[in-house]
Amino acid sequence: MYKKSVLILLLGMYGMVSVKGQTATAQLIGNWRGVFSIKPGVEVPFNFIIREVGSTLKGFLVNGEEQFPTGDLRVIGDSVFIPLPLFDNELVFSLKDNPLQGFLRRQDLRGNITPVQAKKGMLYRFNEASSSPGADISGTYDVVFQNANGKAEKAVGIFKQTRGIVTATFLRITGDSRFLEGIIEDDIIRLSSFIGSSPALYIGKVDKNGSITGENISARSSIPFTAVRNTNAALPDAYSLTKLKEGNDRLSFHFKDADGKIVSTDDAKFKGKPLIITIGGTWCPNCMDEATFLAPWYKANRNRGIEVIGLQYERQTDSAFVRKAFDRFRKYYGIEYTLALGGIADKQVVVESLPQLDTFLSFPTTLFIDRSGKVKKIHTGFSGPATGQHYTNFIKEFNEEVDALLK
């Protein structure tokens, strides 16, 4: 009943043109603590900041050292709308209550809503203070997630602890879980993250040997994991996982861009040049991390005679959706390299649309192609800034590979 009444109230206000002035602006600017209710008895906290940027209000979702920007806020009647454009979501709050009451929903109003409340001036995440952290869990760990299908998935856990505050990420062959932030108190670890898609929650307990047993909890499932400290914890070589079919050494395709123009590896723009092809999607958080690196890298290096194509596999493939998604992605990250639509966001579709590939494991996957058109290396996944030295190593290897292609 609560969800329906709030939904009716705020949808009714959405069409109102009366906009609150300085009072609402002053009410919103500052630090906030939000709490999602993802299912009965399970809450996921997150932090955000609202600032005045020029003549608009903008939100910043805080996770560890990252502040992930939202779209421009809109105050309509007694409601505030916080767009989360890269995920086609939005946060909607009624300004009548304290804490603010609202929900996370899709911008097209389809699908489920997630109740959320937010209170201003709260700087903590899980608890106001962590007086007895217990163990120091800083370090790297061999991690095993037991997925719903019963299959074990290996990962590397990277934890950093300052007194009772913990930041972490889990690195998989497909990419990392980005910035997680939380606490440890009495040997219990709580971590969360939110950048606009589904809220993430991890809870674990440290045993007397320093190992961690926990679970990754979502609205639909709970995935158990174990983590054992290992300073040499590592995943398989990311360049060894995705291959071309035997007898193939090239990747060729003819796809359309957002305007319907054919993009092909045979285009004059790419002939005789080393080429980076990244297979991703505008919806994919690890692809966002890759675009954060690749967009400025391309601007700084394209005059060296190298090109980049982003093959995007999207959740919808109608022209209006693709044009909107591509335009938004370009503007958000400052992308000037070529984007083309490969198909629907499905790994099997990638293999079918690029038949030279033997398998496809992860969005993103990056191919390094020499001047003659031969695929020299394929890198699976992306280790983003949250992975620290793994990210630094990737950038170093990326630049070394490009230098080799240019020679």
How many whole angstroms separate alpha carbon 51 and alpha carbon 341? 35
pLDDT at 121: 95
pLDDT above 90: residue 12: no
Q: Which of 240, 304, 313 is nearest to 275 (CA)?
A: 304
How many whole angstroms separate alpha carbon 170 and alpha carbon 180? 9
How many whole angstroms separate alpha carbon 318 and alpha carbon 335? 22
For 296-343, write each residue's pLDDT tens digit.
999 999 999 999 999 999 999 999 999 999 999 999 999 999 999 999
Angle at 363 between CA 295 and CA 217, to 5 degrees: 115
How many whole angstroms separate alpha carbon 124 and alpha carbon 116? 17
What CATH number matches the domain at 139-229, 3.40.50.150, 2.40.128.120, 3.60.15.10, 3.40.50.300?
2.40.128.120
Q: Residue 11: which H helix or E strand, with range?
A: helix 2-14
CATH class for the region spanning 2-120: mainly beta
- The DSSP code sequence of 117-139 is EEEET---SS-S--S---S---E
pLDDT at 47: 98
pTM equals 0.91
Same fold, 2-120 and 254-406: no
For 254-406, CATH number?
A: 3.40.30.10
How many whole angstroms separate alpha carbon 318 and alpha carbon 325? 11
Q: b/e per residue, 174-196, with b = 16+ CB within 10 A?
A: bbbbbbbbbbbbebbbbbbbbbb
> Could you tell me the residue ranges of all domains in the chain?
2-120, 139-229, 254-406
For 78-130, write each residue's pLDDT tens digit.
999 999 999 999 999 999 988 999 999 999 998 889 999 999 999 899 987 55
How many whole angstroms separate alpha carbon 71 and alpha carbon 81? 10
Quick check: 69 and 59 in contact, CB under 8 A? yes
What mean pLDDT comes out for the span 266-287? 96
- Mean pLDDT taken over the chain: 92
Q: Which of 218, 221, 216, 238 is nearest to 170 (CA)?
A: 216
Report the 3 state secondary structure along 75-87: EECCEEEEEEHHH
Q: Which residue has the tokens 């596999």?
A: 313
